[in-house]
Amino acid sequence: MSLPGHVAIIMDGNGRWAEKRGLERIEGHRRGAEIADAASHWCADLGIKYVTLYAFSTENWKRPEREVSFLFELMLVYIASQLQNMLDESVRMRFIGRINDLPEKLREFAKHIEARTASGKKLTVIVALNYGGRAEIVDSVNRFIESQRIDEKRRITEEDITGNLYLPEVPDPDLIIRTSGEERLSNFLMWQSIYSELYFTKTLWPDFTKEEFLEIMEEYSKRKRRFGAHQ
């Protein structure tokens, strides 16, 4: 079976999952964190080298302050609880997004986790945090402009933008999965997703299972990726 080297996931539906059960939305996020951890293990078990998880977008600041605060605290507590497992299993964790705009405690925590797990080789888990695809492109262009001397002004190329993304060395996602029934990318990896295969499922993220994940891998293996070529 042909498997993707990089899977990206839009983990959607936590709030609706909780509301359907008469629970607070934060309980959906708590359950969603457990599924995110499980999905990382599924990827590692299959030999997938990269998984990117859309944890908090630049638009998510519009949510109630209590929910945002809970999400940040959940990340701190849950990721810290999994640190030793990541070290034991040779998992590297990295963060993309406007990390410098996050609360100091979370910002420093992200740096700490990246440093502690930097030697991980089996799987790289990329957490998109305060992330927006358009923001990444803007940041890339500005980073390139700032790197140029005044006498070196020239037209910007695709390679310039790609080389100044948050993690330019990471390959583009082969497959993007979105749960909860929504069928759009919602500002996720806009530059990197041009030839990604897309898979949309109605399953709410907290209900996502290993069985469904394996079914998606089977479906992916049957697709013919042409990258713009005529066949």
Separation between Cα atoms, residue 181 and residue 6, nearest integer Å:
22
Is residue 58 annotated as involved in ligand binding?
yes
Residue type, 136: E
Is residue 81 annotated as involved in ligand binding?
no
- Residues 2-38 have pLDDT tens digits of 999 999 999 999 999 999 999 999 999 999 999 999 9
Instruction: Give the dihedral sign, CA 106/70/83/212.
Output: negative
Token output for 150: 């005044």
Read off the pTM: 0.94
Is residue 223 annotated as involved in ligand binding?
no
Give residue 179's pLDDT band: very low, low, confident or very high (50, 70, 90). very high
What pLDDT does residue 83 have?
97
Is residue 172 annotated as involved in ligand binding?
no
- Residues 31-76 have pLDDT tens digits of 999 999 999 999 999 999 999 999 999 999 999 999 999 999 999 9
- Residues 84-122 have pLDDT tens digits of 999 999 999 999 999 999 999 999 999 999 999 999 999
75 CB burial (10 A radius; 0-12, 13-18, 19+): buried
Q: Are 125 and 51 in contact (CB under 8 A)?
A: yes
- Close Cβ partners of 128 (under 8 Å, ≥ 6 residues apart): 52, 53, 54, 55, 56, 57, 95, 96, 97, 188, 189
Question: Which residue do the tokens 């930097």 mark?
Answer: 118
Phi and psi at residue 142, to the nearest 5°: -65, -35
pLDDT at 229 over 80: no
Phi-psi region of 97 (alpha: psi -120 to 50; beta: other; left: phi over 0): left
Is residue 66 annotated as involved in ligand binding?
no
Whole-number CA gyration radius for the chain: 18
Separation between Cα atoms, residue 45 and residue 185, nearest integer Å:
26
Give residue 228's pLDDT band: very low, low, confident or very high (50, 70, 90). low
As beta bridge partners, residue 92 has 124
Token output for 92: 């590297």
Q: Are 29 and 198 in contact (CB under 8 A)?
A: no
Is residue 61 annotated as involved in ligand binding?
yes
What pLDDT does residue 148 have?
80
Give residue 230's pLDDT band: very low, low, confident or very high (50, 70, 90). low
Q: In the chain, what are the domains?
A: 6-222 (3.40.1180.10)
Is residue 13 annotated as involved in ligand binding?
yes
Active site residues: 12, 60
Burial 44-71 (b: 16+ CB within 10 A, else e): beeebbbbbbbbbbbebeeeeeeeeebb
Percent of the chain, pLDDT > 90? 91
pLDDT at 152 over 70: no
